Amino acid sequence: MLIAVPNVSEGADPAVLDAITSAFTENADARVLDVHSDADHGRTVFTLAGAPGRLARALGRGAATAARHIDLSAHAGVHPHVGALDVAPVVFLEAAQRPAALAEALAAAAEIAEVGLPVLLYGVLAQGRTRAELRRGGVTELARRVAAGTLVPDFGPPRVDPRRGAVLVAARPPLVAFNLELAPPASVDDARRVAARVREGGPDGLPGLRAIGLELRSTGGVAQVSMNVEDHLRLPLAAVVAAVDRLAPVAAAEVVGLPPAAAFAGYPDDLPTRGRRTLESAL
């Protein structure tokens, strides 16, 4: 059994999300462990489990369905993205699963290419190339780079339709998507300042932390620091909370997807936290 965490650039339309879910689960090729949708981000994160080979087929069907139903030219979310199915990482939970995850990610890339979408690899499959490098400037800039020949898809057509975009594929260990909401009267500028300080490379930088500051309009302009923790053993979520709280009071937290239980070591029980589930509890 392998895990995949495909992210689609739609966070509000239940009909679209139901269609994508049905595509993933067709023929029982994958089981949906979790779905996290966010209208402000314009994004839904699926956590899937499936057998080798069958999981890749599920990702290919999901990519085709997302491309049919999602028009990036009408996208309104604040989360960086370059595709209708934006990323499709296959996750290995322990070192012994790494070869199978690498093979499944390449099989998924081939399946996605078969439905006419360009695929760009990142992480260990692309000599360490990052999602941020590929997303820089958004889908319009990605399409321009591909058209100019300065960036060549690893699978699929050598062009990017800006309405459907490209799919970023990787094999990686667990990554924890984690959001912290700052207490009022914090503004989006405060969230951006905090994000710049705590992300790796910042003045108070934490190892393997990616962070941006956002405004959640659906909640009246709440300022959010949206983060990815790339190594939860080296950087547990409790340490992230403490670092942000030193710079601006934290009012609430949100976990996106299903982190391993070890990510919650020492986590503050008094912090209101949405979505606090673990991968182990869902398997």
Question: Looking at the annotation, which residues are catalytic?
Answer: 79
CB 257 within 8 A of CB 34: yes
Cα distance between residue 240 and residue 256, in whole Å: 15
- For 71, 85, 127, 135, 230, the CA distances from 130, given in Å and listed in that order, are 24, 17, 9, 9, 12
Q: What is the DSSP string of 76-131?
A: --SS--SBSEEEEEEE-SSGGGHHHHHHHHHHHHHHHHHTT--EEE-BGGGTTB-H
Q: Six-digit token pair at 92?
A: 């290995």
Residues 186 and 188: their CA atoms lie apart, in Å, by 7
> What residues contact 23, with CB distance under 8 A and at least 6 apart?
58, 61, 62, 64, 65
Eight-state DSSP code of residue 26: G
